[in-house]
Amino acid sequence: MEMNQMLLYRKNKQVISDFNHTVHPPAVINNKLEALKVLANTILFEVASLEQDREIASHTRVDLSGEVQRFEIDLIRCALMRTGGRQRRAAALLGIKPTTLHAKMRRYGMIPGEDEGNSESVPES
């Protein structure tokens, strides 16, 4: 039995309309855009980190305390990016107390508006 072309067209149009409204509601699209922003920031951060690694690899001497400091800074930045800058959530992600995270951020000059040298400085060796 052949279906009337007009009925078939209306049925297909309704199926497409239902698909568009059920599969991609605005909230899902906003969440995907936010996830893409975080992913893009993470990729940019990783590229910058790779450039730093290349510079470090060219040095003949390895400074353990400097490497540990750089590693901690990278971890803190990554955690802050993943949590949208929320320090409490970043601290939980890192498995440390929020006060410890804040102290490390101050020590490494990662808090905007604060001078890097006004608090505990990391000795260079």
d(CA 90, CA 105): 12
104: left (phi over 0), alpha (psi -120 to 50) or beta: alpha
Q: Kindly report, residue by residue over 66-88, the tens digit of the pLDDT.
A: 889 999 999 999 999 899 889 99
How many CA within 13 A on the CB side of residue 107? 16
pLDDT band at 23 (very low <50, low <70, confident <90, very high): low
d(CA 99, CA 54): 33
The predicted model gives 82-111 an average pLDDT of 93
**Sign of torsion, CA 50 52 57 63?**
negative
pLDDT at 125 over 50: no
- Ordered domains of the chain (ranges, CATH): 27-107 (1.10.10)
Which regions of 1-125 does DSSP assign to beta strands (E)? none
Residue 5: both structure tokens together: 């072309």
pTM of the model: 0.48
d(CA 17, CA 15): 5
